[in-house]
Chain A
Amino acid sequence: MDLSAFAPAFDKQVDTILSWLSDNAGFLFDGARLVLEGLFNGILWLVNLPPFYVVAILAGLAVWRLMGLKFGILAALAMVFCAGMGLWPETMSTLALVIAASVIALAIGLPLGVAAGLMPGLDRALAPALDLIQTMPPYIYLLPSIALLGFGPATALVATVIVAMPPAIRLTSLGIRMTPNEFIELAQALGTGRMQTFFKIRLPFAVPSIMAGVNQSLMMAFGMVVIAGIVGSGGLGETIYGAIRKLDIARSIDASIAIVILTMVLDRLTQSMAAAAQKAEE
């Protein structure tokens, strides 16, 4: 058997499928692209609405409410620092991309996670798919997307959603499955219906785990958004990619610092929300 012929044949098949898709289902992808870019532009418009110092103050206030004064001031200063480096539009663009991707990832991931938590069969079926998504190098997801959606934020969004979804699904499913047995028994003994058991018992117990999933999704989205700079996502990712190509090390470090700041502010915020949910439970 001639193995050397296999790879070209396989590649040809993939190419055929992709061009068939873009020829015959082009309107679908164009539509998807419009929706994704619409969502991204809407959020971008929203975060660019207030001047940078208002955003910095709002971020500071939110962190202060959840984590105390010291961290609040630190968060506000860090945001001002991003603007000071002349990276404010890029920072907001990245923020918009992360928010858009996380919203889509959670909109798909949370219901799927709940369903998997309630149906062990679905959970078992999803597990290998999620394993596959999480073990593949993340930039793989850029390639099919770019073929179908073209260069730009829509491609970045799709790839980011794929990477950000698994933790939300896994941790939501886990949270739903981990309802202490005695409470399930209590619900049965009280004659509680299925919907009530879900909303009044299973869901409240799952909230801390779900919040951890939200946090993880957000972090994955941040990581992917930088990689997506290659496909013209705009924002800090593209700044870093461009700076690396020109060997402008200083500029790439500036942008990296801005990313770290943005990531840390959002990470702390969602983590302390998860901690608050956990505390309410005890």
Chain B
Amino acid sequence: MTQKETAEILIDCQSVWKVFGKRSAEAIKAITGRGLGKQEVLKQYGCVVGVSDASLQVRRGEIFCIMGLSGSGKSTLIRLLNRLIEPSLGKVMVKGRDIATMDAVTLRETRARHIGMVFQSVALLPQRNVLENAAFGLEVQGVPRDKRNRAAEASLAKVGLSDWKLRYPRELSGGMQQRVGLARALTSDPEIILMDEPFSALDPLIRRQLQDEFRQLTKELGKSAVFITHDLDEAIRIGDRIAIMKDGVIIQVGTAEEIVMNPADQYVADFVAGISRLHLVKAHSMMIAPGEWQGAPQGLPRCSPEADIDTLIGLITETGSDAVAVEEGGTLVGIVTIRNLLMGVRGEPEARAA
């Protein structure tokens, strides 16, 4: 964890607000001056608060998911990160620079080189073939044809579409089109990729496949990503950290395990209720101190603190033991009993209780 926290922060979003409506300027004044909330702003100024006081940091190499239902403001929030939408209030720092103060040229440069984006609608240009679409970002930057085509071919190879480069978008399935969308973002070799519900329109099987491929590819290439989704399963599968949004507010930010084990409120709790804990909850969050365990730890099967419930169940059923000893670097750090395990499966935060 310590290593992660010291990693470079690529996007730093500080108390950002977005208010839509004709009287948004007045509404903003009321928010800063009188501390008006969302409801009052809507009532008094007829303005809709899209994003309310959102803060988040995206670190280098991490996949940051923003999960929320439709209307939660997640699509607005991601567009604030590359200033497709101007924030009403607050700061968005990209690689240490405030994008709100950038002039048109610098902003264009930043978008072209540092922040890629993939859309739910894919938005492939129908008059251009797959290769030309994948090279489009470099084309508008004025990169010569040879060079941009080479880069586009490389990124198409990464998403497994080398054989399709001369086809047209209409000849491709939805999943393949979205791969081209991803390839187009990768061609410009940005450090950050913004993914706006890229897989939401795909069928479940293709979706899972693309989720895994996306995660693997992002990690391999060392990219950072902000990934918008309305699907908690998807967020858990892909994200290193997850932010949960509701009504324009970020309710909770944390790893999947933190959110499942310690939901910030009833809304999050309801959301995570149906999520399988088997691969999410780790031994370290269920174990009790070695002293609290009556038996002798010598004969117990062993596991690391990062072992998940599925592994622990395997150990217990294979050996017939009542508990598993958790070891870190050769020293005993805790014990997970069957009782802890069962509570862990239910995702109860008191799983640690003896």
Contacts and interface: CB of A to CB of B under 8 A. Distances in A.
B136 A190 contact: yes
Contacts of A191: 107-113, 137, 140-141
B84 interface: yes
A190 B123 contact: no
Interface residues of A, number: 19
A127 B341 CA distance: 72
Contacts of A3: none
Interface in B177-193: 188
Interface in A188-223: 188-193, 196, 200-201, 204
A189 B121 contact: no
Contacts of B107: 191
B119 A186 contact: yes
A164 B113 CA distance: 46
Instruction: Determine chain A's interface SS by DSSP, over half rule.
Output: helix
Interface in B70-122: 82, 84, 107-113, 115-117, 119, 121
B243 to A, nearest CB: 21
Given A189-B117, A190-B140, A191-B141, A282 B111 contact: no
Contacts, number: 57
Interface string B153-197: 000000000000000001000000000000000001000001000
A282 B170 contact: yes
Nearest to A186: B123
A147 B197 CA distance: 65
Given A182-B119, A185-B119, A188-B111, A193 B140 contact: yes
A187 to B, nearest CB: 8
B140 A196 contact: yes
Contact of B140 (A182, A185, A200, A204): A200
Q: Most chain-B Cβ atoms within 10 A of its Cβ — which of A191, A200, A201? A: A191
A182 B121 CA distance: 7
A144 B307 CA distance: 91
Contact of B125 (A185, A201, A282): A201
Interface of B: 82, 84, 107-113, 115-117, 119, 121, 123, 125-127, 136-137, 139-141, 170, 188, 194
Interface of A: 180, 182-183, 185-193, 196, 200-201, 204, 280-282
- What 10 A-B pairs are tightest by C-beta distance, nearest first? A191-B112, A191-B111, A189-B117, A191-B108, A182-B121, A192-B140, A186-B123, A182-B123, A190-B137, A196-B140
10 contacts: A180-B123, A190-B140, A191-B109, A191-B112, A191-B113, A191-B141, A196-B140, A200-B136, A204-B127, A282-B170
